[in-house]
Amino acid sequence: MTVARWPNEGWATIAKIVDSGSVPRYGDQSKRPGVFEYDGDGPSRWDARAGVWLQGYWCYDWYDETIRIGSIDRETKRITLAAPAVYGINQGNPSPRRFRAINVLEELDAPGEFYIDRVARVLYFYPPSPIEQSRVAISTLDEPLLRITDAEGVTIRGITFEASLGNGVDITGGRNNVIERCAVRNVRQLGVVVKGGTAHRVRDCDIYDTGTGGLVLEGGDRKTLTPARHEAINNRIHDFSRHQQTAAYGIAFGGVGNRAANNLIERAPHQAVFIGGNDHVFELNIVRNVVTETDDAGAVYKGRNPSCRGNVIRHNFFVDIGSPMGHGTGAVYFDDGDGGDLVFGNVFLRCGHPGGGSFGTIFSHGGHDIRAENNIFIDCKRPLGSAPCCSRQR
C-alpha cells in the first residue's frame, strides 16, 4: 500500500526557487531552510501543522531527501521547509527540481492509500478492494525479522519474511549459513544483509517491495585482501527502493571476494548494483528497467575510492537502462577517480543516454586502469564514454 501522497502519480515541480537555504554538505551550518514557490492549488489545502513531508530531488537527480514542511504561505504560494536540504535547493542537474508530498490526510483520495495520525494514533486506510476476507497487517517492529549471529551451518529454507520496519534477515559473523527458497517482502529497510563471517549463501530467493535495498554482501579483509566468499545465486530482486528512491541497491558489495551470479535485478528509479571493495565478481546476471527516473547514474555503480580494485563484471545482460534527463546515464559507471576493474563479455541492449556530456553505456569519470573487452552494444547511443573528474568533493 502507499502512504497518502500528492500527486498520486509522478512528481510535482518547483515553480521558482526563492531561497536555496544553507548547504550542510559543504560545511554551511547556518541551518537556514530553503523556500520555493509551487504551481496549482494542491499545497494550499494542506495543514502543515499535522506533519506533511516532502520527498524531493532538491538539487541533483541522483539524490533524494525527505524533509518536513515548516510552513505554507497560501497567498504567495510559497513553501518553507523545516530544515535545509543537504545540497540546498539548487539546479544541480538540467531537469526541473521535483518533489511530492507524503502522509497528507487531505490527499487520501486513491485506493490503496493510507494515512497515519500519530497524535491520535489512528490509521486511515482506503482499501483497493473489499477487505472482509483479506489479511491486513501493520507492523511496529523496528528490528530484523530474523538474526543469525556467529552461527555455523544453519540453513533457512522456504520461509516468507514480511512486515517489518527493519530488515528482513541479518546474518553477522559465522560461516556457511544459507538462506534459500525464501521470500522477503514488505519490509521498510533491506531484504537480506550479510556482514562479516565466511561463505554465507543467499540463493533461489525472491526479494521485493523493500524500502531501502535488496541484498547486501559484505565481508572479507581489505588490508590482507582475504576474501569472504559470500554468494548470492539465482535470486529475483525487484522493486527494492519503495521508501528511498536513490542509493537503495538491489545488490551491494562490500569488503573482499564476494560473488553474485544468475540473479534477476529489475525495476528501480535509481541504480541497481553497488560495488565497494576488492575482487568481487558480478556475472551471469540480468539487470533491466533501472535508472528509470534519475540522472547522472548507472545500473552498476562504483566510485570515489581508487583502492577498490580487482572487481570483475562479466557475462551479464543489461537491458533498458537509463532515462533521458539531460546530464547522462549509463549501465556501468566508474565515478570520481575509481578504476582497476574489468568489464568483459556483457551484452548491453538500449542502455544509457549521453545527455549533454560524454556519458557512455560504460562510463569512466576520471578513472584509471579500466578494461572494457569483448562487450556487445545494441541500440546504445554511446557505448563508451569518459570525462575528467570533478574538482569539488560531492
Per-residue model confidence as pLDDT tens digits over 34-82: 999 999 989 999 999 888 999 999 999 999 999 999 999 999 999 999 9
Q: Given a cut of 70, is residue 390 above it in pLDDT? A: no
Q: Are residues 74 and 27 located together in one domain of the fold?
A: yes
The values of phi and psi at residue 108, to 5°, are -80, 80
Report, as an integer, the average pLDDT of 145-174. Answer: 98
Domain boundary among 91, 125, 159: 125
What are the pLDDT digits (tens) for 285-306? 999 999 999 999 999 999 989 9
Q: What is the amino acid identity at position 62?
A: W
In the prediction, which pLDDT does 77 show?
97
**Distance between CA atoms of residues 184 and 5, nearest Å:** 26
- For the entire predicted model, the pTM comes to 0.95
> Is 315 among the domain residues?
yes
Q: Are residues 41 and 150 located together in one domain of the fold?
A: no
In the prediction, which pLDDT does 394 show?
55
Q: Are residues 168 and 240 located together in one domain of the fold?
A: yes
**pLDDT category of residue 367 using cuts at 50, 70 and 90:** confident
Tell me how many degrees the CA angle 370-381-13 measures, rounded to the nearest 5. Answer: 100
Q: Are residues 191 and 324 located together in one domain of the fold?
A: yes
Q: What is the amino acid identity at position 232?
A: A
**Distance between CA atoms of residues 389 and 282, nearest Å:** 25
Q: What is the amino acid identity at position 256?
A: V
CATH code of the domain containing 351: 2.160.20.10
What are the pLDDT digits (tens) for 304-351? 899 999 999 999 999 999 999 999 999 999 999 999 999 999 999 999
In the prediction, which pLDDT does 136 show?
86
Q: Are residues 230 and 120 located together in one domain of the fold?
A: no
Q: Are residues 214 and 153 located together in one domain of the fold?
A: yes
**Distance between CA atoms of residues 23 and 298, nearest Å:** 26
Number of domains in the chain: 2
> Is 393 among the domain residues?
no
The values of phi and psi at residue 46, to 5°, are -85, 150
Domain boundary among 125, 156, 189: 125
CATH code of the domain containing 13: 2.40.30
Q: Determine which helix (DSSP H) or strand (DSSP E) holds 177, and give its type and residue range.
A: none
